[in-house]
Amino acid sequence: MIEIIAISGSLRAASTNAALLAALAANAPADCRIQVYDGLGRLPIFNPDDEGERTPAEAARLIEAVTRADGVIISCPEYAHGVPGGMKNALDWLVSRDAAVGKPAMLVHASPRSLYARAALAEIMRTMSFALYEETALEIALLGKKPTEMGAILAEDANRQAMREAVRGFAEFIRGQ
Ligand SMILES: Cc1cc2nc3c(=O)[nH]c(=O)nc-3n(C[C@H](O)[C@H](O)[C@H](O)COP(=O)(O)O)c2cc1C
């Protein structure tokens, strides 16, 4: 079983990025389990003085979850042409650890825009030595959609197939690492 941790860069209750990740988890191939990380909003702001023995509990939980996972999937909005602070903060807690080094990672997209944030995230993650899977970029346009509309879009056969294919491709990439 391939174990994947999925992280949404949005804390909004009706987040399109969180909805995409929940749908990916529901549509994953039988040999992949996707668990969505729910602690982004509880992470303290990163401070290098708080690493090692002083690592806060939620940061330790994130580091442990990424370390144990076979791969990481991130879906993240763009704020003011950048990566939202909460997402960058989570990544900052992983910078000086081994958790990210060589860890397979895939970006998926709930907005057809957000090109600055996509590029920035990819650059940050490559710099952190994640093994970024860049074959196919799954993009399902949910921007501005309400939860019921999102549910309908994510339930479309073509989108369910696209999600399954994206995770299958990522799983093959993980196996090849
Ligand atoms: C403060 C703020 C700034 C934003 N800036 C941008 C931006 O620069 N470029 C963009 O494409 N979208 C921008 N957006 C739109 C969000 O990226 C978009 O609404 C996204 O779908 C939100 O993700 P969520 O539904 O998961 O919360 C911004 C939204 C907010 C709240």
Instruction: Give the tens place of pLDDT for each residue, 43-62.
Output: 999 999 999 999 999 999 99
For ligand 1, whether the C-beta of 92 sits within 6 Å is no
Instruction: Give the tens place of pLDDT for each residue, 111-154.
Output: 999 999 999 999 999 999 999 999 878 999 999 999 999 999 99
Return the structure tokens found at 135.
């074959």
Enter the CATH code of domain 2-175.
3.40.50.360
For ligand 1, whether the C-beta of 27 sits within 6 Å is no
Task: Give all strands (DSSP E) within the chain, no chain letters.
Answer: 2-8, 32-36, 71-75, 104-108, 131-132
CA-nearest residue, atom 4 of ligand 1: 79
Ligand 1 atom closest to 18 (CA): 26
Distance 137 CA to ligand 1 centre (A): 19
CA-nearest residue, atom 22 of ligand 1: 77
Instruction: Give the tens place of pLDDT for each residue, 153-171.
Output: 999 999 999 999 999 999 9
CA-nearest residue, atom 28 of ligand 1: 79
